[in-house]
Chain A
Amino acid sequence: MNSQQSAHPKQEIGGMVPEISLPLVQGGTGTLQGFLKGKKGLLVVFWSETCSHCLRYDSFLNEFPQRYPELGLVVIACRQGETAEEILATIAQRNLRFPILHDQDSRIARQWHTQQTPRVFLLDANRRLLYRGAIDNYRYPADPDYQAYLRPAIEAFLAGKPIERPETASFGCAVQSVYYQLPKPLARS
């Protein structure tokens, strides 16, 4: 870890991602290995309680365990400056049912080279990276231009087939920005 590059080696598709350990907003601590226990793979989602893009996938994530019982799911709240209290309030308000780890200083997001939320990583049982990118192309399923990215990747993996498109676009809200530190335009609290 003597340079910026070696501190954050790029996670190659097919390579093993490093283990992480972060506080679980709902209480306790979570690790990738813990969420992988008894599962064939794991979906890791970099997320933010503020992000309007993430919000679109609330029901997808809430229903994920039913849809893919063979896979684990963990969400990492990683936006610079978001507090555990804000995340807990959002969990209650939006009735979120998935485990959320708190990457308070965006350290893991940086290590995983994640600039935007939501960004998903699909891992196999050995923490090998299978897919990285967006859930879909941010269109709605009714749109003929809609393209699912994650679903075909998961289905290929579960069927034991190679994933055709293991890396897709980066969509969403910035994890870090100087604008999050500037005085807020809405002086409310």
Chain B
Amino acid sequence: MANPINLLLRPWTRTAEAGLRLMERALETANSLVDAVAGERRSETLLAPPLNGPRNADEAAVDFANRLLLIARQHSGNPLAMAASWSEVLRAAGSSFGRLERDGWRQWMALPLQMPLSFGTLLARTSLRGLHAGYLGGVERLPELVKYSMEFFTDLDIFVTLQYNEYLSALIQDAENHPENAAKRLLLGKTYCKLGRYEEAVRELTEAANDPAIRAEALQERMVARYRAGHFAEAIADGAAALDLAPSDNRSRFWMWLGAQKLGGYPPSVPEHQRMELRVGRHPASVQLEEIAATIGLDKTSGGRGTAVFDLEGDGYLDVILSSVHAGCSLYRNNGDGTFTDITVGSGLEDTASVFCIAVGDYNNDGFPDLYVTRMGFYDGESLLFRNNGDGTFTDVTAAAGVRNWGPAFTAQWVDYDCDGHLDLFVTANHGRFFATPAKNRLFHNNGDGTFTDVTARAGIASDYPFVGATWGDYNNDGFPDLFLSSSLGRSQLYRNNGDGTFTNVSRSAGLDAICVGFVALWCDYDNDGWLDLIQFVWSPEADVLHTMIHGERPPHGHSLRLYHNNGDGTFTLVSPELGLNECWGTMTGNAADLNNDGRIELVLGNGGPLMGSSEPSVLYELGEDGRFHNTSFSAGLPVSGKGHGVNMADLAGDGRLCLIVADGGMYPGDLLTTAVYRPKTLPGNYLNVRLVGTKSNRSAIGARLRLEAGGTSQHRMVHGGSGFGTLPLEQHFGLGKLQRIDALEILWPSGLRQRFSGLPVNDTIEFLEGAAGWRHVYPQKSRRGVAAAETHQPAAPVPAAAAGRGDD
């Protein structure tokens, strides 16, 4: 970073953070004192939607600031225009402050004191985010980032409440009232595009392009609208014109390239310097994928968000649930052959709209995995707990179980953090809306009777950074799962589980408190040394992604996926750069599994940004024999564009081929895509699928560790309780390559029981019951397809388990 301001600021970041936090705390304390004098009880964490609007001065200040932001955006940030529309500002103030819960004259008298304190607190919080954003991208990129965030968050306000017609009417009126103002046409055109009304978008953007000051941007937006309407040649012409005006405009360059792919090549009129080649994703792939969503019946969900793969009714076959940003969840039952029947209807999940993350875990240990879902993630929403009735239907038990939550919950995880055999629940809290009251992560302890107790404060993990992802795993091998929190804009955190229901923040000493735009994260022993490493998926702005695609690597200031190697001594080392992970993607979700059955993990990334001009491929990294990751996405057959959310990898047909599920689609009505499923065309190698059923441990065996020994090497796995958008199946998939023999499998159950088995079959799916000798086949041998070798592998007398005490190695 050459900018001297950045050089000056970076060493002072921690000091500035401390100062802003101190200011925030001081203002909060002062506000509490005023509350006490006024006899006002500060409202507790919201558990239900605030249908009546803001309840107190803090919430009203936040609401008012967001409304002002919306007005500012409509007036292109022009203060004079905003001042002229004072009636709008007054109406916004009325909406924000009009319904405050006030009890008696003392509380009304206190309001003039509370308001400056509330606005001051908000200012301190917002400055802290600004500080982190400036740290990441440099101060020179801050205005662009603010503009981007403003567009995204104010749009969310309008689009989730379906107020876009009112908004559109206001924009039309505004444009008519100011015919000389092309910026208003530009905004109107962009809004039409977001609604999928491309003809009107093109009309308005054509008008806007007449103004030389904004012609380049208008042409670029028109290019996007025309491409999306299927007019590729015209889109390419617009892109070329925009590039003429702004030669560094990589977005136009990329969409022209996309258009050229559709047309079978660039039109001859496009000069060489406006063309590009895709310089990533071309490394030779070890596996060839085919898209089979429609063939297997998983294509009936659009605007996909979360995905989860689990055995719904205990019949052994893996079923699928997909959530959608605009509508309810879809539930698909496996027909027993890897094809699916949509059984959403009557499942109890169909009206659960806007679900983000689906965490799967059997919290009541009845043999049927239950679901906890979060909503929206970048906006307040109501998380819900669904108990699995075992017959393909679910019952909403959120209130009865005591796990109500209203806020910008992003991901959720099931974890037995105290190893008592009952799954507890953790919910991350992100930053909802542009200005926001900080929401708290929540840890719910399972009481063992179908109810939960919020133990967040006692556990000592009430951290106030915004978090998107969390992952639980026993990084120090002491038998208790620890917590890594991935911050969406701030410092990530590592909490070591003390084993007594409390946690210690060890982020800094572990080397895991970096500032980045972190999304989901995953504990994963990628190098099979017995110590859980950490993968943190990172979101990059579109400019850095375009740079990556055009140049084959990230720009110098770019931030890539972060892979931390566990040194085994409580510290971690960032190793992703030297492992070849040097690209920038707008990754919201990612997962790890052995897709090519070669005994080494692959990473898949679901990428994209919310705006209509953003389109990114899903990315596949194969871990090669050289110990480095290689981007083989397009060689393997993945498409070059999209907007991926819940990516998942699961053996849907039980034939050893992991299917890559990509829930695709953006937040705008004009940006709908359907879910895609990619499957290896042939079985890429031998395999073994392992399922675990806990008895003393939680029944889902979440937190269990497995070590498979074959061919002189070992492979390590952990059963996750939810890693993010794509909830991997509890089933563990081991790739064996050409190996025909497994030497041993060691299971360390969350209870501490260690069992070791040998004589295991190859190319099969088997299940272990905690404490029992032997295993059972999951699938009836005769109905398994495409695995000729498996028929010969009936288990001999299983080797008795060798039990051990709590794992404290």
What residues make up the interface of A, taking CB atoms closer than 8 Å to B?
Answer: 4-5, 8-11, 50-53, 55-56, 79, 110, 113, 115-116, 133, 137-146, 167-188
Mark out the residues of chain B between 285 and 333 whose CB falls within 8 Å of any chain A CB in the assembled complex. Answer: 299-303, 324, 326-328, 330
B351 contacts partner chain A, Cβ-Cβ < 8 Å = yes
Q: How far apart sit A5 and B350, CA to CA, in the bound complex (Å)?
A: 12
Q: Please give, as numbers and ranges, the residues of chain B lying within 8 Å of A171 by CB-CB distance.
A: 302-303, 672
Q: Please give, as numbers and ranges, the residues of chain B lying within 8 Å of A146 by CB-CB distance.
A: 230
* Contact A5-B160, Cβ < 8 Å, known A140-B198, A144-B262: no
Q: How far apart sit A79 and B88, CA to CA, in the bound complex (Å)?
A: 28
Q: In the complex, what residue of chain A is closest to B297 when comparing beta carbons?
A: A167
- 22 A-B contacts (beta carbon < 8 Å): A52-B197, A140-B228, A140-B230, A168-B300, A169-B300, A169-B301, A172-B302, A173-B327, A174-B326, A176-B351, A177-B162, A178-B381, A179-B161, A180-B161, A180-B162, A182-B49, A185-B67, A185-B70, A185-B158, A186-B158, A186-B163, A187-B95
A135 to chain B, nearest CB (A): 13
The number of A-B residue pairs with CB atoms under 8 Å apart is 149
B436 to chain A, nearest CB (A): 14
Question: Is B160 a contact partner of A115 (Cβ separation < 8 A)?
Answer: no
Question: Is A176 a contact partner of B353 (Cβ separation < 8 A)?
Answer: yes
Question: Is A170 a contact partner of B160 (Cβ separation < 8 A)?
Answer: no
Q: In the complex, what residue of chain A is closest to B74 when comparing beta carbons?
A: A186
Interface readout for B90-129 with A: 1 if CB under 8 Å, 0 if not? Answer: 0110110000000000000000000000000000000000
Q: Please give, as numbers and ranges, the residues of chain B lying within 8 Å of A186 by CB-CB distance.
A: 70, 158, 163, 166-167, 170
Question: Is B165 a contact partner of A4 (Cβ separation < 8 A)?
Answer: no
B231 contacts partner chain A, Cβ-Cβ < 8 Å = yes
Q: How far apart sit A176 and B327, CA to CA, in the bound complex (Å)?
A: 8
Known: A55-B197, A171-B302, A185-B70. 7 other contacts (CB 8 A): A144-B230, A168-B299, A172-B327, A174-B354, A175-B327, A184-B166, A185-B154
Q: Please give, as numbers and ranges, the residues of chain A lying within 8 Å of B91 by CB-CB distance.
A: 187-188
B342 contacts partner chain A, Cβ-Cβ < 8 Å = yes
Of the residues B94, B160, B326, B670, contact of A116 by C-beta under 8 Å: B326
B393 contacts partner chain A, Cβ-Cβ < 8 Å = yes
Q: How far apart sit A4 and B394, CA to CA, in the bound complex (Å)?
A: 11
Question: Is B230 a contact partner of A143 (Cβ separation < 8 A)?
Answer: yes
B195 contacts partner chain A, Cβ-Cβ < 8 Å = yes
Q: Please give, as numbers and ranges, the residues of chain B lying within 8 Å of A177 by CB-CB distance.
A: 160, 162, 353-354
Q: How far apart sit A113 and B67, CA to CA, in the bound complex (Å)?
A: 35
Q: How far apart sit A128 and B670, CA to CA, in the bound complex (Å)?
A: 33
B381 to chain A, nearest CB (A): 8
* Contact A179-B229, Cβ < 8 Å, known A115-B351, A174-B353, A187-B94: no
Question: Is B382 a contact partner of A178 (Cβ separation < 8 A)?
Answer: yes
A77 to chain B, nearest CB (A): 14
* Contact A116-B327, Cβ < 8 Å, known A56-B196, A142-B231, A176-B353: yes
Q: In the complex, what residue of chain A is closest to B375 when comparing beta carbons?
A: A178
Question: Is B327 a contact partner of A170 (Cβ separation < 8 A)?
Answer: yes
Of the residues B95, B196, B299, contact of A52 by C-beta under 8 Å: B196
Q: How far apart sit A137 and B230, CA to CA, in the bound complex (Å)?
A: 13
B4 contacts partner chain A, Cβ-Cβ < 8 Å = no
Question: Is A4 a contact partner of B348 (Cβ separation < 8 A)?
Answer: yes
- Of the candidates A53, A142, A171, the one having the most CB atoms from chain B within 10 angstroms of its own CB is A171
Interface readout for B196-207 with A: 1 if CB under 8 Å, 0 if not? Answer: 111000000000
Question: Is A133 a contact partner of B300 (Cβ separation < 8 A)?
Answer: yes
Q: How far apart sit A11 and B343, CA to CA, in the bound complex (Å)?
A: 11
B448 to chain A, nearest CB (A): 28
Q: Chain B contact residues (Cβ within 8 angstroms of A): what range? A: 35 or more
- Of the candidates A55, A139, A182, A186, the one having the most CB atoms from chain B within 10 angstroms of its own CB is A186
Q: How far apart sit A111 and B701, CA to CA, in the bound complex (Å)?
A: 38
Considering the complex of A and B, which 7 residue pairs feature the smallest CB-CB distances, nearest first? A143-B230, A142-B230, A185-B157, A10-B345, A113-B345, A187-B95, A115-B327
Mark out the residues of chain B between 44 and 86 whose CB falls within 8 Å of any chain A CB in the assembled complex. Answer: 49-53, 66-67, 70
B300 to chain A, nearest CB (A): 5
* Contact A115-B301, Cβ < 8 Å, known A5-B393, A10-B345: no
Q: In the complex, what residue of chain B is closest to A11 when comparing beta carbons?
A: B345
Q: Please give, as numbers and ranges, the residues of chain B lying within 8 Å of A51 by CB-CB distance.
A: 162, 669
Q: How far apart sit A182 and B170, CA to CA, in the bound complex (Å)?
A: 20
Q: Please give, as numbers and ranges, the residues of chain A lying within 8 Å of B158 by CB-CB distance.
A: 185-186
Of the residues A140, A167, A180, A182, contact of B342 by C-beta under 8 Å: A167
Question: Is B170 a contact partner of A188 (Cβ separation < 8 A)?
Answer: yes
Question: Is B330 a contact partner of A170 (Cβ separation < 8 A)?
Answer: yes
Q: In the complex, what residue of chain A is closest to B343 when comparing beta carbons?
A: A10
Q: In the complex, what residue of chain B is closest to A180 when comparing beta carbons?
A: B162
A176 to chain B, nearest CB (A): 6
Q: In the complex, what residue of chain A is closest to B352 when comparing beta carbons?
A: A115
Q: How far apart sit A171 and B671, CA to CA, in the bound complex (Å)?
A: 11
Q: How far apart sit A145 and B291, CA to CA, in the bound complex (Å)?
A: 14
B324 to chain A, nearest CB (A): 7
B344 contacts partner chain A, Cβ-Cβ < 8 Å = yes
Q: Please give, as numbers and ranges, the residues of chain A lying within 8 Å of B299 by CB-CB distance.
A: 168-169
Question: Is A170 a contact partner of B302 (Cβ separation < 8 A)?
Answer: yes
- Of the candidates B53, B160, B262, B343, the one having the most CB atoms from chain A within 10 angstroms of its own CB is B160
Q: How far apart sit A110 and B328, CA to CA, in the bound complex (Å)?
A: 11
Of the residues B67, B165, B302, contact of A169 by C-beta under 8 Å: B302
Q: How far apart sit A173 and B160, CA to CA, in the bound complex (Å)?
A: 10
B11 contacts partner chain A, Cβ-Cβ < 8 Å = no
* Contact A183-B53, Cβ < 8 Å, known A138-B672, A142-B230: yes
* Contact A110-B351, Cβ < 8 Å, known A52-B195, A144-B230, A170-B327: yes
* Contact A182-B161, Cβ < 8 Å, known A115-B327, A143-B230, A169-B674: yes
B164 contacts partner chain A, Cβ-Cβ < 8 Å = yes
B556 contacts partner chain A, Cβ-Cβ < 8 Å = no
Q: In the complex, what residue of chain A is closest to B192 when comparing beta carbons?
A: A52
- Of the candidates B92, B160, B161, B381, the one having the most CB atoms from chain A within 10 angstroms of its own CB is B161
A59 to chain B, nearest CB (A): 11
B271 contacts partner chain A, Cβ-Cβ < 8 Å = no
Question: Is B674 a contact partner of A52 (Cβ separation < 8 A)?
Answer: no
Of the residues A8, A172, A173, contact of B346 by C-beta under 8 Å: A8
Question: Is B165 a contact partner of A50 (Cβ separation < 8 A)?
Answer: yes
Q: Please give, as numbers and ranges, the residues of chain A lying within 8 Å of B230 by CB-CB distance.
A: 139-146
Q: How far apart sit A51 and B346, CA to CA, in the bound complex (Å)?
A: 25
Q: In the complex, what residue of chain A is closest to B53 when comparing beta carbons?
A: A183
Question: Is B166 a contact partner of A188 (Cβ separation < 8 A)?
Answer: yes
Q: How far apart sit A179 and B327, CA to CA, in the bound complex (Å)?
A: 12
Question: Is B51 a contact partner of A115 (Cβ separation < 8 A)?
Answer: no
Q: Please give, as numbers and ranges, the residues of chain A lying within 8 Å of B262 by CB-CB distance.
A: 144
- Of the candidates A50, A115, A181, the one having the most CB atoms from chain B within 10 angstroms of its own CB is A115
Q: Please give, as numbers and ranges, the residues of chain B lying within 8 Å of A110 by CB-CB distance.
A: 351
Question: Is B161 a contact partner of A4 (Cβ separation < 8 A)?
Answer: no
Q: Please give, as numbers and ranges, the residues of chain B lying within 8 Å of A140 by CB-CB distance.
A: 198, 228-230
Question: Is A185 a contact partner of B327 (Cβ separation < 8 A)?
Answer: no
